[in-house]
Chain A
Amino acid sequence: MTEPAEGPILEVTDVRKSYGERVVLSDVDLVVNPHDVVCLIGSSGSGKSTLLRCLNLLEDVDDGVIRFEGREISDPRVDRRAVRSRMGMVFQAYNLFPHLTVLENCTLAPRRVHGLSRAAAEERARQLLDQFGLADQAGKHPDRLSGGQQQRAALVRALCTSPTLLLLDEITAALDPELVGEVLTIVRDLAEQGTTMVLATHEMSFARDVATSGCFLHEGRILEHGPPEQLLTDPREARTRQFLRRVLPPA
């Protein structure tokens, strides 16, 4: 939240992505304003993860335009590292570096990419780790931590660089049910603090509580979008209803 951006933080227009013959995203439009929490829902293979990876430039789009903080980042001339240094991403499988301690995981990018001094980077990392209840895990290696702790550490790692946009890719999908809560509480806190987020999730009740808007993806298209209460309780499309019947416990 370094730059008081006017207008949307992220603007996606007509994005298309295919792997060879297989089209995984088509005609995707999305606008994310500051302090928005956008939930992407949909079954596996509907394109949620691919969309997030396209936003972070881990994948090149085949068509369409992605604008981040007012600049087109789908331009081939754009400096990808500069873009990524202002976005945070958390993966389903944590992707912590196993050879570094939690603290070192969290200070790697601030020190090497953002040029912070070791002391400054560690101070910020410790402060965040403390806030997320990981203060006493800082010196341990990731494999020593529980899944929930690892995912919280991964969140801290993403937050240490103060990104303007946080991308979360099904961050609770690999966790035990009782560990899901501890991670989601943090995401909820972040949302309340005004962090702008785009997250793919299977946690419908969480999406309803936290999201400012929801998008239902089906076969690479955003079939339906809107405020989460409406999307999750009174969807317009038959596909969405069908999907929700499968994932929501019968009322």
Chain B
Amino acid sequence: MTTTPRAERGAAWEPSAREVERRAERRRLRLRRLAVATAAVIVVFVGVGLLVVTSPGWPTVREAFFSGYHAKRALPDIARAFWLNVKMFLVAEPLILVLALAIAIARSARSALLVPLRLVAVAYTDVVRGIPTILLVLLFGFGMPSLQLQGVPNSPFFWATAALVVSYSAYVAEVFRAGIESVHPSQVASAAALGLSRGQTMRFVVVPQAVRRVVPPLLNDFISLQKDTALASTLGVFEAVFVAQDYGNFNFNFTPYVVVACFFVALTIPMARFTDWLGGRYSERERAGAR
């Protein structure tokens, strides 16, 4: 039913005529896809662009939101203020990760002694997630300094950051918990079979897998956090949105808002690409040839 195996052709393999033809065909199909994609992109984007530019109010909008003159004038102040936003979430992000992971692990603890901790963790996520972030910022920013605690800074920057940490750690804790619960029970069983304690199982088996799975939703929360640093403006912190608002009120022009938006976008896009790359690397390494 089959022909006998051919003699060794050696290392120098030459594609057959059919394969050469097929490669040309694949190339042709690829080029066609590329052409269709290009055409679709041009039609959609040019169409939307024309729609905006030809709308009756466009000249007014362009003057109020896209004025090159105002953008240039507001830029240095915004850039300086934006650094404050960056500092705020650079401080907040690691704290949130640690706190949230601790809460998530506390919630999945099964030891009898840790029951009070579990109750605290449940109450924390329930209550904190129920309160609008802006209210937390106001409560912390105006309430905490009034307590006149010793050895704690009273700056609005500090309390705004603290409020963000509290608010976001509750959300992120739930993300972590979802990740932890998505790890198949057989993983816990096989770790237990190796003699690992529950804590060790969490640390070496469950949490590493959980964290990988929740990277995309984590990024989602962090982008949200980056934007919510603007809530510090309610405490009078001179961050980017506050500066833009100040400029707009003074000059009757909204262009600085667009400038701030560009700053935020410029910050989130590299981060999104980075997590995509990270996730791609994990799945390549751990799911190669998933069969």
- Closest Cβ of chain B to A58, distance in Å, is 9
- Closest Cβ of chain B to A126, distance in Å, is 29
Mark contacts of A209-251 with chain B using CB atoms, 8 A cut-off: 1 yes-contact digit, 0 otherwise.
0000101000001110100000000000000000000000000
In whole angstroms, what is the CA distance A113 to B95 when docked? 49
* B29 contacts A76, C-beta separation under 8 Å: yes
In whole angstroms, what is the CA distance A31 to B3 when docked? 9
Chain B residue, CB-CB nearest to A59: B289
In-complex Cβ contact of B16 among A30, A33, A63, A93 (8 A): A63
Interface residues of B in 24-50 (CB under 8 A from A): 25-26, 29
* A75 contacts B25, C-beta separation under 8 Å: yes
Total CB contacts across the A-B interface at under 8 A: 48
Q: Tell me if A132 is interfacial: C-beta within 8 Å of chain B.
A: no
Residues from chain A with a CB closer than 8 A to the CB of B291 are 49, 53, 91-93, 169
Q: Tell me if B146 is interfacial: C-beta within 8 Å of chain A.
A: no
* A65 contacts B18, C-beta separation under 8 Å: yes
* B25 contacts A29, C-beta separation under 8 Å: no
In whole angstroms, what is the CA distance A16 to B16 when docked? 10
> In the complex where A63-B16, A63-B19, A92-B291 touch, is A225 in contact with B26 (Cβ < 8 A)?
no
Residues from chain A with a CB closer than 8 A to the CB of B15 are 62-63
Residues from chain B with a CB closer than 8 A to the CB of A222 are 2, 5
- If over half of B's interface residues share one DSSP class (helix, strand or loop), that class is named, otherwise mixed; here it is loop
In whole angstroms, what is the CA distance A213 to B2 when docked? 10
Interface residues of A in 59-111 (CB under 8 A from B): 62-65, 74-77, 91-93
Q: Tell me if A130 is interfacial: C-beta within 8 Å of chain B.
A: no
Mark contacts of A197-215 with chain B using CB atoms, 8 A cut-off: 1 yes-contact digit, 0 otherwise.
0000000000000000101
Mark contacts of B1-30 with chain A using CB atoms, 8 A cut-off: 1 yes-contact digit, 0 otherwise.
111011001000101101100100110010
* A77 contacts B29, C-beta separation under 8 Å: yes
* B1 contacts A225, C-beta separation under 8 Å: yes
- Closest Cβ of chain B to A95, distance in Å, is 8
Chain B residue, CB-CB nearest to A221: B5
In whole angstroms, what is the CA distance A14 to B15 when docked? 11
Q: Tell me if A182 is interfacial: C-beta within 8 Å of chain B.
A: no
Residues from chain B with a CB closer than 8 A to the CB of A92 are 291
In-complex Cβ contact of A225 among B2, B22, B29 (8 A): B2
Residues from chain A with a CB closer than 8 A to the CB of B16 are 14, 63-64
In whole angstroms, what is the CA distance A127 to B142 when docked? 71
Q: Which residues in A have some Cβ–Cβ distance to B below 8 Å?
A: 14, 16, 23, 26-27, 29-31, 33, 49, 53, 62-65, 74-77, 91-93, 169, 213, 215, 221-223, 225
- Besides A27-B9, A223-B5, 10 more A-B contacts (Cβ < 8 Å) are A14-B16, A16-B13, A23-B13, A53-B291, A63-B13, A64-B18, A76-B25, A77-B25, A77-B29, A225-B1
Q: List 12 A-B contacts (CB under 8 A).
A: A23-B13, A27-B5, A27-B6, A29-B2, A62-B19, A63-B13, A75-B25, A76-B22, A77-B29, A91-B291, A169-B291, A215-B2
Q: Which residues in B have some Cβ–Cβ distance to A below 8 Å?
A: 1-3, 5-6, 9, 13, 15-16, 18-19, 22, 25-26, 29, 291
